[in-house]
Structure 1
């Protein structure tokens, strides 16, 4: 107890570490992308053109390439079979844009070849969403009202589903980046010097997923420290 009416919770340090990691990763990817967004590829391809060419070379004709507003909002939608590229990627001819477009094509190729981690992640999305939405309400009811150790354990399990989703995401993202670099090298869309910049952009982007997973794990650890020992004594 530090002063009247104030309680110091040392587990907040875990939340702080997670937040700092996420902020660092976000700043890193933005600065790295900004740097290589100014380096134009010798091929002259835009992000959209590179994506269309990669998909064609892979024999994938059922995926549309569309523009989406925002900055670095690029993603592949496996349900709609649509690859969406952001403002800074779709029409840009930079090595950063081509790299990001190739990464999203990596996801489309994963979908086409039934890459198991992608299938598992897609199937796990509703479980993770529901789990993260109901985890805190269940924990609070279990702790403050019912004083039920069982409810607390269920809440922790629901929160863990979100953590597990972050961990499942890692191999999917790393594999998509590896596919992107390999394709860009084999097709000659980018030369070796340009590939160095692309690797840095994709590595920085991957760190955002690593940071998100680390932050989730730290939050889970904090919940275990706070609520894990609250077994009801009869």
Structure 2
């Protein structure tokens, strides 16, 4: 892949093979964000888990103390009083069965997170082939299948993010924007790592967190010293 001039210059400015303390890594990754837009900063966490085993599947959610810097559109599947509750909480879209053809046939996906009350999961299940591959399927572990729709919507709007293993046993998750202060990014990163450390599968043998890198949308990544942030 051919890299842009700014990417190449940023990559030359530090030792890409070195592992940095969190504060140093964040300072460097902010320097690497040289695009004309406010780049997203992501953490890429390589684990020693084997996601083929159900007991080693990691999935959960955490509210970042300084939010994500992104405006998040929330769709809630609910009926009656719960639908009213979702609307009052600030959900962008609220509905039930009538939304199925719009998503299934018209390809409507103008939302970032889907929440559903448990009684609506039979309906939402019909959208599995559409929502599943895009990571939008509601899940109890992520707090998106719940009767407390007010809390779910409030948490998501406040900066709740979901983390999960991909097929290569890596967790990819955003921790904020390049415009955030170093302290805000450090707080968000530590909050994320605390949650992932707690999610360590009891059946796992060997090293849990193998490597961590932080990277802006358009710039090179920076390795974080695993020993200081992983338990």
Fold shared per TM-score above 0.5: no
**Which structure exhibits the higher relative contact order, with contacts defined as CA atoms closer than 8 Å and separated by 6 or more residues?**
2
Instruction: Give the TM-score band, short-chain normalised.
Output: under 0.3
So what's the TM-score if we normalise by structure 2? 0.27
Structure with the greater alpha carbon radius of gyration:
1
Pick the structure with more helix per residue. 1
Pick the structure with more strand per residue. 2
So what's the TM-score if we normalise by structure 1? 0.26
